[in-house]
Structure 1
């Protein structure tokens, strides 16, 4: 089962989940699972609500719903940047279930390199020093799908786009994961994808924004209200309108750290 396969959401919703392990680097309970239905098999990530760590600025028990809501926005935009995601009961209660994406080895789209090792086709985000005190540069690929992800993050107000959350799939696809702290009503954009700062969003991103804006007046808006507050849905619409009015990649806020820590 792959992200674009017919019936993948039904598969994730009705499939039998067996927990195989835990992703220990995650701050919240994140379980690696096998899932099967009617002879079809795949792997998935399962994040039970009861395993969410309380945060000072996001309401308790809402992260799984935000992950699902972010998937809904991606789907409405026609971008498919978020792997197929559902909310459902699981072995440890209700939670988010997302199709696992197999990634390429040694082909990261975000990296930290020495200053003299920035390759053509990469965008520089930040200059700093590594743990040995040597100059280092945070960079990301100048990839069209990563560019769309940067625009998408501005829309969903992603507060935690780390380098490890940008996946380069084996089939060449690009996906973003770990969207539990998105869609807040206040400006919280924090990302490693600042390489297009101030540049035009581009036609594809603008068309995606128009689809989201249309959806917010209909089915998308109704679905989002099941997982977000009215203020959060209204803020989403305002962000879309602002980007459509001035279709350029936004600048970092002066009131909020612009890059997550750690960056990966």
Structure 2
């Protein structure tokens, strides 16, 4: 994607189109427009967040942090995401809407599209680094251009280990050397733009997770058989 998407998200006029159904928090489809250009975004206002016992309000910051982490790694797994203060329902995240076939998701891609497996395994690695608590199958999309994306990262980056994901098909597989090189700097320092959206304990935990990955060299294994989100899709 180009800077066009970030310009529209950051500077465009935001108009609500409608609520996205079956979301645990209030989530909206919005149109963003600048002059003659426009596009669609997913808007998650803080005001629509369901109170949680294990995450502080402000999940939109984690959505932005996941995007920044993906960009810092050079992986481009998370659609462009910004924080907007002046959005219609108050502060929240705006993420570029991915045009795709919503009948496809992780399970169908894994079974029917083996060419996506490297990207799916990379998402599994990203989720461990980010400590994703909610990687449902429907949070993996294949855009109309064939690109694989991960969405919905509001429940990431907790200090305590909370990984829950449907992507266990690559568990125990060696992590490609190029990906280990990508994550290696995180063992020493979290990118400042990511760290400023998290607390100190969350930053330390992220770096320790990367240190464990570098030591093991393999994608994590769920030895409990319980680290799945619900619902699965």
TM-score range, shorter chain: over 0.9
Cα distance in 1 for partners of 2:230, 2:111 equals 24
Name the structure 1 match of 2:194. 224
Whole-Å separation in 1 of the counterparts to 2:34 and 2:95: 15
Structure 1 counterpart of 2:44, from 43, 47, 65: 47
1:62 paired with 2:58, answer yes
- 1:127-161 CA-partner distances (Å, limit 9, x unpaired): xxxxxxxxxxxxxx862111110110010000000
- Tell whether 2:129 aligns with 1:155: yes
Give the 3 Å change call, closer, same or farther, for CA 77–119 of structure 1 in structure 2.
closer
Alignment of 1:243 with 2:217, yes or no, is no
1:78 pairs with 2:74:
yes
The 5 A counterparts of 1:128-147 are 143-147=117-121
Checking the alignment, whether the CA contact within 8 Å between 1:73 and 1:212 is kept in structure 2 is no
- Answer with 1 or 2: which has the greater Rg: 1
Shift of 1:205: 2.0
CA deviations on 1:70-111 (whole Å, 9 max, x unpaired) are: 111111010010000001120010000000000136443324
Is 1:101 matched up with 2:98? yes
* Structure 1, gaps ≥5 residues long: 113-117, 123-140
| Inter-CA distance 102–120: structure 2 relative to 1 (3 Å threshold) | closer
The separation in 2 between residues aligned to 1:62 and 1:80, in whole angstroms, is 23
1:197 aligned to 2:171? yes
Q: Does structure 1 retain, via aligned residues, the 8 Å contact 2:189–2:207? A: no
Q: Check whether the contact 2:102–2:141 (CA below 8 A) recurs between aligned residues.
A: no
TM-score by length of 1: 0.82
- Greater fraction helix: 2
Greater percentage in strand: 1
Of 8, 12, 20, 2:9 maps to 12
Quote the offset at 1:211 in angstroms: 4.7
Q: 1:259 is matched with which residue?
A: 228
Q: Which runs of 5+ in 2 are unaligned?
A: none
1:37 alignment partner, one of 30, 34, 37: 34
**Structure 1 contact 17–36 (Cα < 8 Å) conserved:** yes
Instruction: For 2:36 and 2:112, locate their aligned partners in 1 and report how far apart those are by CA, in whole Å.
Output: 45
1:184 matches 2:155: no
* SS of residue paired to 1:145: helix
